[in-house]
Structure 1
Amino acid sequence: MTIANWLLQTARSWPLRPAIFDGDTLKHDYASLLQQVCDRAADLAARGIGPGDRVAIFARNAPDYIAALHAIWWVGGVVVPVNHKLHPREADWILDHSGATLVFTDDGHSFAGRAELALAAPAPAGAPIAPPLPREGGDPAWLFYTSGTTGRPKGVMLSHDNLVQMSLSYATDVDRPQQGDHMLYAAPMSHGAGLYMFAQLRAAGAHVVPVSRGFDSAEIRELARSLGGLVMFAAPTMVKRLIALARETGWDGSGVRTIIYGGGPMYAADIDEALAQFGARFVQIYGQGESPMTISYLSRDLVADTTHPRWRDRRASVGVAQGACQLAILGPDDTPLPAGKTGEICVRAPTVMQGYWQNPEASAETLRGGWLHTGDLGHMDADGFLYLTDRSKDVIISGGTNIYPREVEEVLLRHPAVFEVAVVGEPEPEWGEQVVAFVVFVPGETADPAALDRWCRDNIAGFKRPKRYEFPQALPKNSYGKVLKTDLRAWLKG
């Protein structure tokens, strides 16, 4: 079973239905999208790419993104989606670790010495329409690199079966696709927004890539007006910006059918205002790369409900287990905890990854006992609603994107003037959190924030750079020499 069969079936059933929009301009119906995929697949095969080969996409959202994904699966390959916001050096490490045979990029000239194609470059036309190469359900399809608190990213291996189960969970629990839907890709297609493509494609719905190739509130409002039926995934900061525009302009959300939010904390005041402005158009999901978008959900009715005696508490939760998932809160010894007790959120489900690419130790630790150990802390109430009480270790979530302090610390520690550094998150109204670096210099050395910022610009993605620097004489530590980041966060709060 290859999930690429879904496109073949849809294109045969509904060849003339709209498939891909560039803004509000129709670029492909399903028949022409299928032809583009077969043309691209023939080109990949001619380049020697076949079953099991990893092919990366390091590019911004684009109308050709979905065709490139399917062409890779058409020849039996494995997609390696890389966040386009990463620094090229970071992306280069992922390409090496995954063993990517080829990489699609925006311009076709991002990496020296690598086989590379521009995402929008046309393939030779006229390939025969043929089914994708058969694959087993357990064969890898999506190799997604998610950073960890220990430094280097880890490659999450998701199979064709994982993606099928994820898509069925979406259609059952999150949002049932409807005729006339237009799925809008304002968040990166290399992440969860792109994974929601499958359910929409299965329903022969349309896919819309904004001309901005990202999130722009005014553009989304205009697309809602011109196309209607917009469905989109959005980080909480995106929701907040959209509602701010709506408040300024008097827009009531007309043309938007569903906004699925997740990827970070949504403050109670923000979702209250969103509901007041747009009404019951919001669904919350909780997941992670290791079980993408599929751990829990809070339906649009539950988000908007005010009739239950505990509706306020429930709205503050991340909902109940999605249909394919079994949830448990486990203690330090991996024993189940009762309702109301805080522990590690753990998951059993057919959506859970196969493991980490070339990392058996991390795989065994994360999947021990048959459970996915998310690293997130939380508790469940007696009705099965899940509440996040802390995030895994010290992860910073800014604009819905995970930032791992260790990565930033390692870059700053390579600066010749830096002796010690600790990076933490600080609450920030627009983005949820911002990165703050506490830097201790080598005796006799110094550097100003501008110099440190230039150093970071040369080595890591811009969104990971500290937005603020503090220069203490020493970092607070416990008796074992471990830096006490809780003390640093407390200091920031004053």
Structure 2
Amino acid sequence: MIWQAFLARAAEIPDRPAVLWDGGRLSYGEMVATVRARAMPLPEAGDQGAARVLLTQAEPLELLLNLLACWSRGLVPVILREGRTAESIADLCRFLHPAARMDGAAVTRIGPQVGEAPPRSLGPRDEALVICTSGSTAAPKLVALPAEAITRNAAEISARLGLQPQDRVAVPTPLTYMYGLMGGAMSALWAGASVRLFGPAAPPTEIQAALRSEDLTVLQGPPSFLRLFLAYWNGQPFDGVRLVTTGGEQMSQDLPRQLNAAFPACRLEYLYGMTEAGPRISHRRIDPDAFVEGNVGHPFAHLDWRIAPVDTPGLPAGTGRLLIRGPTVFLGYICADGGYEGLDAEGYFHSTDLVRADADGTLHYVARLDRLFKSGGKLVNPAEVEAVLLSHSAVAEARCIRQAHPLLGFVPVAEVVLRDGSSSVVADLREHCRAALESHARPRQIEVRSDFPIAPSGKQAISPH
């Protein structure tokens, strides 16, 4: 289903650039040939259902080619975030039962041979992609998305953004995140546009130079990236960019006008959603002179949604938990027994976003129900950080909270209480976190305390930063 749609698009425009990177390019026709060659060592899916393949290469071009290679065989790619240890990958294999692993163009068979049947075509409700997201517990969750979540959202996003075949879309967001993968690369390819990929460590000045020298017309990135981008801006406007699309986290009140100064000829579009929604839920065009913080627009028509009341004091009237269901909502989180969980009996996903709605159906994001927050557009799970700190032999107690940051929005900071007899080991704890956490989740500051004070509620409190 996904591969067939890409083939149909490539047949219409075989010579048009599909993907661009620093020093290279592939046309749509060349990309099809490259993907087919890369898929040859992969096992056949046959009719056995979801045959999964672990993708351990986070470099964007390699990841994109490997995704398409899996889909061309009817296989299910499992996107692993950077920084995965051999032990964590082994743990995943025990319940995902992957057929193979891809690292760049190298394919390693893991499971038994699956037969010699021709590649199957993924049906609309077949599992088509597994991707990690942080949950409300210490362990990241594996989100399983159906094929129609990929195709329908790619079509919906490209239509809402008005992407055109002549566009060249700059995608600096990592493709290991659904915002980069779907909000950038897949929606651009669906429109027949060219995708300009950047490495995960590309500096803003490199992206700015590419916008000018390569005639890029669209820039995609979360608000934290755009703030960093503007911090390195030399004041010369980017007149060739017609569209800036953002999402993945809240926008500050001043950002739209700052973007309007840097991109005077552009339209500014905001997409709101979450990985479990495949990933888009709603869309809005932003007027820099009439920006309303928290307004995330109207939900897409193919989604059913409602707001469930919550027992949380201090929220604006009408605020509740957003529930959604529909063809682009995930199948569920993958369980250790191979099944799915995460949808109620009516098929609704109970998100952790607290929202309210106007009479016309416009959604306003208010807060999260859990402790998760975003740093530089990437989700940080404080419970995961705390679990890593507590796994160190010197740590008796640990707390992680968010601290405001002018460019990244928020960053994680931590406090620890050491076990009796342990000396101050901040440098050791930093190295411990470096080995176990992705860079955005590592505490920017670790403070050693003698104990945690008791708040009036009777719970332990964390000192403010």
Structure 1 unmatched ranges of 5 or more: 117-130
- Other-structure match for 1:156: 143
2:351 to 374, 380, 390: 374
- Other-structure match for 2:281: 295
Q: Deviations over 1:444-482 (max 9, x none)?
A: 323232121122123222322111122333334579975
- Other-structure match for 1:126: none
User: What does 1:341-420 correspond to in 2, within 5 Å?
Assistant: 341-358=318-335, 364-420=341-397
Are the counterparts in 2 of residues 366 and 374 from structure 1 also a CA contact under 8 Å? no
The one-letter code of the counterpart of 2:448 is F
- Other-structure match for 1:12: 11
Structure 1, 462-471 or 152-161: larger mean CA deviation: 462-471
Distance 1:469 1:50, change over 3 A: same
Are the counterparts in 2 of residues 166 and 351 from structure 1 also a CA contact under 8 Å? yes
- Other-structure match for 1:268: 253
Give the % identical residues: 25
Are the counterparts in 2 of residues 261 and 284 from structure 1 also a CA contact under 8 Å? yes
Q: Deviations over 1:172-200 (max 9, x none)?
A: 32x12212112223111122211243332
Distance 1:270 1:102, change over 3 A: same
Q: Deviations over 1:58-97 (max 9, x none)?
A: 2233434322211111111001111225455545544444
Q: Distance in 1 between matches of 2:409 and 2:95?
A: 31
Q: Is 1:165 the equivalent of 2:152?
A: yes
- Other-structure match for 1:326: 304
Q: Distance in 2 between matches of 1:305 and 1:456?
A: 40
- Other-structure match for 1:220: 207
Q: CA deviation at 1:344?
A: 0.8
Q: Distance in 2 between matches of 1:102 and 1:219?
A: 35
Structure 1, 286-295 or 92-101: larger mean CA deviation: 92-101
Are the counterparts in 2 of residues 188 and 214 from structure 1 also a CA contact under 8 Å? no
Are the counterparts in 2 of residues 339 and 381 from structure 1 also a CA contact under 8 Å? no
Q: Distance in 2 between matches of 1:256 and 1:64?
A: 27
- Secondary structure of the corresponding residue to residue 279 of structure 2: strand
Alignment root-mean-square deviation, CA: 3.0
TM-score by length of 1: 0.83
- Secondary structure of the corresponding residue to residue 271 of structure 1: helix
- Other-structure match for 1:72: 70
Are the counterparts in 2 of residues 186 and 214 from structure 1 also a CA contact under 8 Å? no
- Other-structure match for 1:33: 31
Q: CA deviation at 1:439?
A: 0.8
TM-score by length of 2: 0.88
Are the counterparts in 1 of residues 59 and 200 from structure 2 also a CA contact under 8 Å? yes
Q: Deviations over 1:274-307 (max 9, x none)?
A: 22332343211111110033112222xxx1263x
Are the counterparts in 2 of residues 51 and 75 from structure 1 also a CA contact under 8 Å? no
Distance 1:367 1:359, change over 3 A: farther
The one-letter code of the counterpart of 1:463 is H
Distance 1:44 1:422, change over 3 A: same
- Secondary structure of the corresponding residue to residue 237 of structure 2: coil
Q: CA deviation at 1:139?
A: 0.9
Distance 1:481 1:72, change over 3 A: farther
Q: Is 1:492 the equivalent of 2:464?
A: yes
Q: CA deviation at 1:420?
A: 0.9
Are the counterparts in 1 of residues 57 and 103 from structure 2 also a CA contact under 8 Å? yes
- Other-structure match for 2:57: 59
Q: Distance in 1 between matches of 2:365 and 2:451?
A: 32
Are the counterparts in 2 of residues 320 and 385 from structure 1 also a CA contact under 8 Å? yes
Q: Is 1:304 the equivalent of 2:287?
A: yes
The one-letter code of the counterpart of 1:236 is P
Are the counterparts in 1 of residues 45 and 73 from structure 2 also a CA contact under 8 Å? no
Are the counterparts in 1 of residues 76 and 127 from structure 2 also a CA contact under 8 Å? yes
Q: CA deviation at 1:214?
A: 4.3
Q: Distance in 1 between matches of 2:126 and 2:140?
A: 22
Q: Deviations over 1:372-422 (max 9, x none)?
A: 111111222333332222124111311110011111111111212211111
Q: Is 1:200 the equivalent of 2:177?
A: no
Distance 1:165 1:236, change over 3 A: same
- Secondary structure of the corresponding residue to residue 37 of structure 1: helix
Distance 1:178 1:291, change over 3 A: same
The one-letter code of the counterpart of 2:193 is G
The one-letter code of the counterpart of 1:345 is L
Q: Distance in 2 between matches of 1:224 and 1:438?
A: 42
Q: Deviations over 1:102-132 (max 9, x none)?
A: 22225969xxxx649xxxxxxxxxxxxxx96
Distance 1:37 1:385, change over 3 A: same
Q: Distance in 2 between matches of 1:180 and 1:291?
A: 28
Distance 1:14 1:183, change over 3 A: same
Q: Distance in 1 between matches of 2:101 and 2:339?
A: 26
- Other-structure match for 1:449: 426
Q: Distance in 1 between matches of 2:448 and 2:280?
A: 41
Q: Distance in 1 between matches of 2:48 and 2:31?
A: 21
2:133 to 146, 164, 168: 146
- Secondary structure of the corresponding residue to residue 341 of structure 1: coil
Are the counterparts in 1 of residues 63 and 104 from structure 2 also a CA contact under 8 Å? no
Are the counterparts in 1 of residues 36 and 69 from structure 2 also a CA contact under 8 Å? yes
Distance 1:451 1:406, change over 3 A: same
Q: Distance in 2 between matches of 1:445 and 1:43?
A: 52
Task: Give aligned pairs, total.
Answer: 452
User: What does 1:174-185 correspond to in 2, within 5 Å?
Assistant: 175-185=161-171
Q: CA deviation at 1:363?
A: 5.4
- Other-structure match for 2:21: 22
Distance 1:147 1:407, change over 3 A: same
Are the counterparts in 1 of residues 70 and 77 from structure 2 also a CA contact under 8 Å? yes
- Other-structure match for 1:425: 402
The one-letter code of the counterpart of 2:392 is H
Q: Distance in 1 between matches of 2:105 and 2:29?
A: 27
Q: Deviations over 1:225-263 (max 9, x none)?
A: 2332433431212101222223xx222123323222122
Distance 1:286 1:35, change over 3 A: same
Q: Distance in 2 between matches of 1:420 and 1:404?
A: 17
Q: Distance in 1 between matches of 2:47 and 2:106?
A: 18
Are the counterparts in 2 of residues 73 and 132 from structure 1 also a CA contact under 8 Å? no
- Other-structure match for 2:113: none
- Other-structure match for 2:173: 187
